[in-house]
Amino acid sequence: MKLTYLGHSSVLIDTGEFTLIIDPFLTGNPVASAKADEIKADYVLLTHGHFDHIGDAEAIARANGATIIGIVELADFFKNKGLTTAGLNLGGSFVFPFGKLTLTPALHSSSVEIDGTNVYLGVAAGILLDLGGFVLYHAGDTALFSDLKLIGDRRQIDLAFLPIGDYFTMGPEDALLAAEWLHPKHVVPIHYNTFGLVAQDGAKFVDQLKHKNIIGHALKPGESLDTPSLDQ
């Protein structure tokens, strides 16, 4: 399995049989490592409705005949555009062809601006994926909250994608505590250095993870990890 960080919060997952993209924001993203029309995906997974997470969801889904998966109100937003969707709610799980997906709580907002008005798109979520025994957690945009302990206690997480940008999400200090509570084997920091407001030092964050016996990877947009390299 190959996991590629595309910049901001966008992650491309190639299981060998299926390709999934999480929170595609490539168009208008100054650090994106790919263009939307270059993406081949079977599924588009969304954590919430802000533009920097759903920006290219419609274009990628249409071009690939992909299914959009997210919280029910967000899924319905795209269903009303004629796209194929699957709308779950918090705590809900479903076994898709690629594996088991669970939507977990996240503390954040979720809306899209239409004609100058913010339209509510359901609650924000995290995404927990069991891909043939490899467990991946994408926290989406979230503040630190204590139920992250519950997520970590119930599942052995192999790889977690955690926001560290601050301002809109938790910053590095809170993300370190989140990592401690989740106790994953590996962590990739996301949602930082896209714009000035979320400028952070990913390498420093990864270095601090060592003190918690967690392996960190400050991936640059376009860099990848594969599951054999994560079997540590």
Are 88 and 103 in contact by the 8 Å Cβ rule? The answer is yes
Does 154 have pLDDT greater than 90?
yes
- Residue 132: pLDDT band with limits 50, 70, 90: very high
Q: 219-228 as b/e, with b when 16 or more CB fall inside 10 Å?
A: bebeeebebe
Q: Assign domain 2-227 to its CATH superfamily.
A: Ribonuclease Z/Hydroxyacylglutathione hydrolase-like (3.60.15.10)
Compute the Cα dihedral for 193, 102, 24, 80 and give only its sign.
negative
Q: Six-digit token pair at 47?
A: 């954590």
pTM attached to this predicted model: 0.98
Span 109-135, average pLDDT: 97
How high does pLDDT run on average in the chain? 97
Does 82 have pLDDT greater than 60?
yes
Q: Six-digit token pair at 232?
A: 């540590």
| DSSP annotation of 172 | H
Does 219 have pLDDT greater than 90?
yes
pLDDT tens sequence across 21-47: 999 999 999 999 999 999 999 999 999
pLDDT tens sequence across 48-77: 999 999 999 999 999 999 999 999 999 999
Rounded distance, CA 216 to CA 173, Å?
15
pLDDT tens sequence across 163-212: 999 999 999 999 999 999 999 999 999 999 999 999 999 999 999 999 99
